[in-house]
Amino acid sequence: MGRILRAVARLLALFFAALFIAVGPLTLVLFNIGWQMFDPALYKRALAEQHIYERLPGLAADQAVAQLSHIGPDIERMQATPELQRCVQQALDPAAFEEIAGFKREPTAAENDLMRPCFDKYLPPQGDGGGGPPDFAKSLTPEQLKALLPILIPASWLQTQTESAIDQVFASLDSDKPELSILISFADLKRHLAAGAAVDAFRYVVYSEPPCTAEQLAALAVPLTNLPPCRPPEEVLTAIISQNQNTLSEAIAKIPDETDLIQMAKGRGDTPEAASPRQEGDNGPLGNNPREVLRNVRRGLRLSPLLPAGLILLIALFGVRSLKGWLVWWGIPLLIVGLIGVALAVAILPAMNWAFATYAADRIPPTWSPGLLQTGLGMARQIVGTLARWIGSEAGAMGVIGLAMVVISVVVKPRPTSSEAPRSERRT
């Protein structure tokens, strides 16, 4: 009877060891996702290490050029409403709709003409200036934009507000406020513009133009409504700036002291009064309370190590009868899980690159500039690489511990059973 019970206990220990090996590597991945991906410091560090704030002028200029060079309806929003989607489907050939909606190719001029009435009728407005750069930016070259943006927008302000927005996003997971908000402060930016940055930017653009002819100079006597097409003499330019100082100050004053990014994305304006009550998570993929769902997911991911911890205790309960047995029963599963975890960590980045090239590369909207796309990929690789390093280091530690236990088990001598006792002891 005792042998039967020992055999059953050994089988159970083997079952729990196999289960530990199966769930251990997955737990390493899930735990680090729950711990790292919900940490705002991960994203702040990735932005800083990718030098996003210093590279932003060039990225914004490239993106503006990409948007301005895209002619035709905004195909990124061709499925914004059911009515718009049906209208475009009826206007286009079915195969053409699938290719264009899937960003496999750009529409032809004839297809743009067919779609344009649908967009004019059904596309929701995006607000003032939504979806494109200001009118004056359309006359600037990419080099001018790259030089102009650092003058207007300090990298320090951009970093401060970006990091603040990241903190607010993750803090909202623990908030019970019914209305989410991500506030961006423009107070420091307005002070920066009023202190001379706006005038410096104006001067830079004007200095990059050819000198004015006599006819152009005479036309500048009219109050300016746009950037001058030429470079007037310094005394004339100074007079123009002085005459338009009040207009410039009024334009800066119209910039709100702060705005809510979520309300802007919803098209509700910049003021709290413009926001209408809403139910959180309406028609969303995470149900009626997405924050509660995300909180539960985060909690579950962070508690996931409890499962393998319980399994390894069950292995000890049913399989361990000696020190040597404990070293073997724990050492081998830990070594295997460590090796699998290290292999997963090594494979994560290549798998991500393969998935992007296979499933996403052909679906990138044509209005995305290559520089912006490569920067986004760099950010993603940085974040996933950090995740892989944590998984690899933890798996490596488990593997080293398991290997050490296996090696020690070879050195440790098993305790002799009663049947293996020396004959002298049995005679006694």
Q: Give the SS3 label for residue 107.
A: coil
- Please give the pLDDT value at position 215: 84
Query: Could you give the CA distance from residue 182 to residue 260 in angstroms, rounded to a whole number?
Result: 5
pTM: 0.73
Query: Could you give the CA distance from residue 377 to residue 387 in angstroms, rounded to a whole number?
Result: 15
Query: Could you give the CA distance from residue 25 to residue 38 in angstroms, rounded to a whole number?
Result: 20
Q: Give the SS3 label for residue 417.
A: coil
| Angle, CA 415 vertex, CA 414 and CA 421 arms, to 5° | 120
Query: Could you give the CA distance from residue 405 to residue 335 in angstroms, rounded to a whole number?
Result: 9
The gap from C-alpha 290 to its chain's centroid, in whole angstroms, comes to 18
Query: Could you give the CA distance from residue 253 to residue 259 in angstroms, rounded to a whole number?
Result: 14
pLDDT, one tens digit for every residue, the chain (428 residues): 778 888 899 999 999 999 999 999 999 999 999 999 999 999 999 999 888 988 887 888 777 777 666 555 666 677 778 888 888 888 888 888 888 777 777 777 788 788 888 887 877 655 444 444 455 555 667 777 788 888 888 889 999 999 999 999 999 888 877 778 899 999 999 999 999 998 998 888 888 888 988 888 877 765 566 677 788 888 888 888 888 788 888 889 999 999 998 887 665 444 444 444 444 444 555 556 788 888 899 999 999 999 999 999 999 999 998 999 999 999 999 999 999 999 999 999 999 999 998 888 877 776 788 888 888 999 999 999 999 999 999 999 999 999 999 999 998 877 665 554 454 444 44
Query: Could you give the CA distance from residue 397 to residue 412 in angstroms, rounded to a whole number?
Result: 22
Query: Could you give the CA distance from residue 124 to residue 102 in angstroms, rounded to a whole number?
Result: 21
CB 199 within 8 A of CB 248: yes
φ, ψ at 231 (rounded to 5°): -105, 110
Q: Which residue has the tokens 């009064």?
A: 273
Query: Could you give the CA distance from residue 210 to residue 250 in angstroms, rounded to a whole number?
Result: 29
| Tokens of residue 1, six digits | 């009877």
Query: Could you give the CA distance from residue 157 to residue 255 in angstroms, rounded to a whole number?
Result: 15
272: how many CB neighbours lie within 10 A of its CB? 11
- Please give the pLDDT value at position 150: 87
223: how many CB neighbours lie within 10 A of its CB? 9
E strand or H helix that includes residue 185: strand 183-185
